[in-house]
Structure 1
Amino acid sequence: MAGEGRELDMGTAMNATPEDSDAACFAGAMNITAEAKANRAVRTNLTDAGLQPYPFQWWHFSLGDRYWALMQGQPAAQYGPTTWPRN
């Protein structure tokens, strides 16, 4: 439930811009604390599970979309656009 955990030091807030974070929002940023680097190591688990990390935002991953397909060398995304039913 919300509020029952503790926020980990990830080096920046989510959605931090390169300008506001001195580029620490990049996945491979070296200008973050050792604790933040250790906390970001969870990314390895996510990539091992098949998610594609986005290099410019440590919190952003893709799975099955066109960015994932491109980076994974797949011929196409696993899913594409959809239309919402009209009432």
Structure 2
Amino acid sequence: MWIMRDQFQGIPVELEEAALVDGLGIWGAFMQIVLPIALPGMVAAFILSLVLCWNEYFFAALSTAAIFPLIIVAVFLEKYIIKGVAAGAVK
């Protein structure tokens, strides 16, 4: 959000005003003047967002992979876990 804000604030207002004087509407000035100038910043923001999202996805996948062997051990040792819990419940 902040990257895009700075990117659009860096575009001079005079360019938009000149486009309006030359006969373009507001959307025409945006599409033909502002958008091509802001496009490199938009691509940079997209790449940064993609990398950060991919890192979060990768962290979640690694967490699952780290827990998986513990789940397998717990399944095989389930009867001993139940005996230990039951032994502590009886006086």
Give the alignment's TM-score, normalised by structure 2.
0.24
More helix by share: 2
Give the alignment's TM-score, normalised by structure 1.
0.25
**Larger-gyration structure (1/2):** 2
More strand by share: 1
More contact order relative to length (CA 8 Å, sep ≥ 6): 2
